[in-house]
């Protein structure tokens, strides 16, 4: 069950302010979805995410299927009950992870054989089994099983992935019968405009309640990513939510919103935190660097999170160098808060007919 409504369309771009009504939560869009791969956003509790203001998070079908297993999660009341999270959840299909295992998988038209990265055990996923898994996980939004083309790849490889993705999407739609869960299709086509167009036409004909753009932010030049989004902005239904998969850099969020994207996810804020880096309104900084050893300013003076209100760059650097896990928690909290609040500011700007003013101001200051 899903209802999407455009509250306001920007006059200066394709940015739009929307509301996504899920079974568990009403999500304001555009929105960034923190990634909780293993039913946890690394270093954060559900209480932290409530406090930050996250409305929807993402979990990973591939990883949860392998560990702890979907039957156990279903027994716990689905992901919402298992991880004590009563707002929105989206589960990806596991396609990206499976296709990333280039030496451990074999793609066929009926599905994909792969070896577990955990214990080497052999598995076979089909569109039908992926639907069964995601329905047991019980997320508000499930994703079709797709073939994600690597970058670079040949035109022929990308074309075959589009063909297979469309065929699998129809099989997913036919197998999916959980009425309280929405199913999104995923558009592929790498950086080839005609293939993106073919994929979009094939998937929109199947009339999914929402559409994701996959296979971008996988190593291609950003100009190519933006060009594909410009193209799809003219093709995707305007009355349905649009989700750009795997994108989380602040500048890319703004570029996506400018081109009509409503939903984003990425592991970047948590991964950067584990490597000692943080977002600020002036650009990304690496707190572990020696230059911050006696810097007693907050991570970002413009940020209102409790980390910036209470701890200095020098202290966090000390924690990093001492190997203390609190460093990961503090930086993760700040990074997820930063992107969540960035999207709040974006929504406010759209509401005030000032998105491009906000965009230009942010880009002029942010160094990337």
Catalytic residue among 12, 92, 233, 353: 92
Location of structure tokens 């995601």: 134
DSSP classification of residue 59? E
Residue 224 appears among annotated catalytic residues: no
Report the alpha-carbon distance of residue 333 to residue 224 in Å, rounded: 32
**Burial of residue 94, with CB atoms counted within 10 A of its CB: 0-12 exposed, 13-18 middle, 19 or more buried:** buried
Location of structure tokens 């943080």: 278
User: Strand 182-187 vs strand 141-143: parallel, antiparallel, or unpaired?
Assistant: parallel
Catalytic residue among 140, 146, 265, 300: 265
In angstroms, the Cα distances linking 299 to 49, 69, 252, 330 are: 19, 39, 21, 10
Report the alpha-carbon distance of residue 58 to residue 92 in Å, rounded: 7
- What is the CB neighbour count within 10 angstroms for residue 167? 15
Report the alpha-carbon distance of residue 25 to residue 140 in Å, rounded: 9
Residue 294 appears among annotated catalytic residues: no
In angstroms, the Cα distances linking 359 to 188, 253, 322, 342 are: 28, 10, 38, 11
H-assigned helices in the chain: 46-52, 61-66, 70-75, 78-82, 95-100, 127-137, 155-175, 193-204, 222-233, 250-258, 268-274, 306-310, 313-321, 326-351, 355-365
- Which residues are catalytic, by number? 92, 265
């Amino acid at each position: 069950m899903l209802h999407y409504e455009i509250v306001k369309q920007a006059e200066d771009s394709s940015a739009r302010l929307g509301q996504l009504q899920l079974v568990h939560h009403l999500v304001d869009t555009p929105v960034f979805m923190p990634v909780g791969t293993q039913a946890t956003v690394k270093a954060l509790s559900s209480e932290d995410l409530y406090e930050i203001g996250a409305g929807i998070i993402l979990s990973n079908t591939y990883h949860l299927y392998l560990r702890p297993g979907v039957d156990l999660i279903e027994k716990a009341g689905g992901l919402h009950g298992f991880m004590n999270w009563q707002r929105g959840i989206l589960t990806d299909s596991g396609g990206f992870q499976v296709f990333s295992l280039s030496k451990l998988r074999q793609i066929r038209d009926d599905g994909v054989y792969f070896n577990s990265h955990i214990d080497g055990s052999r598995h076979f996923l089909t569109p039908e089994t992926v639907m069964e898994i995601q329905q047991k996980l019980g997320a508000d939004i499930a994703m079709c099983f797709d073939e994600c083309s690597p970058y670079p790849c040949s035109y022929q490889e990308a074309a075959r992935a589009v063909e297979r993705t469309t065929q699998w999407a129809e099989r997913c739609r036919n197998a999916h019968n959980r009425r309280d869960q929405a199913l999104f299709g995923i558009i592929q086509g790498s950086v080839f405009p005609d293939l993106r167009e073919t994929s979009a036409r094939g998937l929109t004909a199947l009339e999914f309640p929402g559409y994701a753009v996959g296979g971008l932010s996988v190593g291609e030049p950003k100009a190519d990513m933006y060009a594909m989004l410009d193209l799809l902005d003219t093709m995707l239904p305007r009355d349905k939510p649009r989700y750009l998969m795997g994108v989380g850099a602040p500048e890319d969020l703004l570029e996506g919103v400018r081109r009509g994207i409503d939903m984003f996810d990425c592991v970047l804020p948590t991964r950067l935190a584990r490597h000692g880096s943080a977002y600020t309104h002036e650009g990304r900084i690496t707190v572990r660097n020696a230059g911050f050893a006696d810097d007693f300013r907050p991570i970002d003076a413009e940020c209102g999170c409790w980390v910036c209100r209470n701890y200095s760059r020098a202290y966090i650097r000390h924690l990093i160098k001492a190997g203390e896990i609190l460093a990961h928690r503090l930086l993760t909290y700040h990074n997820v808060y930063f992107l969540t609040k960035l999207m709040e500011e974006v929504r406010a700007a759209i509401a005030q007919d000032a998105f491009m003013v906000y965009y230009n101001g942010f880009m002029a200051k942010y160094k990337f």
